[in-house]
């Protein structure tokens, strides 16, 4: 899509971080924007800021994990604008530390519901319209965690998003569709992803509080520092804009992290055990 003027962008997780940066960038490109987020007050503030670019901006409080809520987002979009063109399935949560609790089913369900089912619902409610008009672009926010190992719901969700996004790309390409697809795999970006437990539903709150181990505390300290010193969301917004306008599938923010995957890929080709590798330094 080389001309975004007067087209429609839909962004989930749009009240802060990368989602807000995407909304700003698309509005500056002349797009009307539909902003969705689960947090009402920050969403209202974000809409007011994005509207300053002079295009039409609407919002709807949306829980991407909920099918009815995503149906309502699509209905609001189509009622206001008749269609959509760029859809950023961006909302996500981290899940926090599961110290001493092993696999906590409620935590895993919450993270997968948001990070994976949020993308699935986004495909379900918007993709048919894009395919029908044979124009548009899907941007799914995965993570470099979708390429690195990790025994966590977050890692599982992001590996799944990478897989289904690549599958959608091949499916549309095979059908001769002009709908584009991008997989955003950010490294460390200055966002509030580590604070996503602020939106955890009551049913997913751990029943018991367990003190994290020294190793887990060190990992959280590393993550907090890495996020604080990470790429600015506006820079990621530029990369996403470039991918949409130039039909790029992969969007990486840290090629150093990509280089760290070399041995993993070599181990697959050579059918051998991979050397240990991790995102945590």
Give, as one character, the DSSP assignment of residue 213.
Answer: P
Report the catalytic residues: 154
Is there a contact between 113 and 63 (Cβ–Cβ < 8 Å)? no
Is there a contact between 86 and 26 (Cβ–Cβ < 8 Å)? yes
Question: Which residues have CB under 8 Å from 43's CB, separation 6+?
Answer: 14, 15, 35, 36, 37, 59, 61
Interior CA angle at 259 toward 256 and 263, to 5°? 145
Length of the chain: 281
What is the CB neighbour count within 10 angstroms for residue 58? 17
From CA 141, how far away is CA 156, in angstroms rounded? 14
C-alpha 215, offset from chain centre: 28
Nearest to 49 by CA among 73, 72, 25: 25
Three-state DSSP class for residue 18: helix
């Amino acid at each position: 899509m080389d001309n975004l003027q007067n087209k429609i962008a839909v962004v989930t997780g749009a009240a802060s971080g990368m989602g807000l940066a995407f909304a700003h960038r698309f509005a500056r490109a002349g797009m009307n924007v539909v902003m969705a987020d689960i947090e009402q007050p920050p969403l209202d503030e974000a809409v007011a800021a994005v509207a300053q670019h002079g295009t039409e901006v609407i919002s709807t409080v949306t829980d991407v994990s909920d099918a009815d809520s995503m149906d309502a987002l699509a209905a609001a979009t189509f009622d206001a604008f008749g269609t959509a063109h760029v859809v950023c399935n961006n909302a996500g949560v981290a899940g926090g530390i599961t110290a001493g609790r092993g696999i906590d089913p409620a935590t895993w369900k919450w993270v997968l519901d948001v990070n994976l089912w949020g993308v699935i619902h986004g495909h379900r409610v918007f993709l048919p319209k894009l395919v029908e008009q044979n124009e548009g672009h899907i941007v799914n926010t995965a993570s470099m965690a979708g390429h690195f190992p990790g025994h966590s719901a977050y890692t599982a969700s992001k590996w799944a998003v990478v897989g289904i996004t690549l599958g959608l790309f091949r499916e549309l390409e095979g059908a001769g569709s002009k709908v584009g697809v991008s997989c955003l795999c950010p490294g460390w970006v200055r966002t509030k992803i580590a604070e996503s437990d602020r939106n955890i539903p009551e049913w997913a709150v751990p029943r018991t509080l367990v003190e994290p181990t020294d190793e887990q505390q060190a990992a959280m300290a590393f993550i907090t520092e890495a996020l604080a010193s990470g790429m600015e969301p506006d820079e990621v917004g530029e990369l996403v804009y470039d991918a949409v306008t130039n039909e790029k599938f992969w969007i990486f923010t840290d090629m150093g992290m990509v280089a760290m995957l070399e041995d993993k890929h070599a181990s697959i080709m050579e059918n051998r055990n991979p050397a240990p590798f991790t995102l945590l330094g």
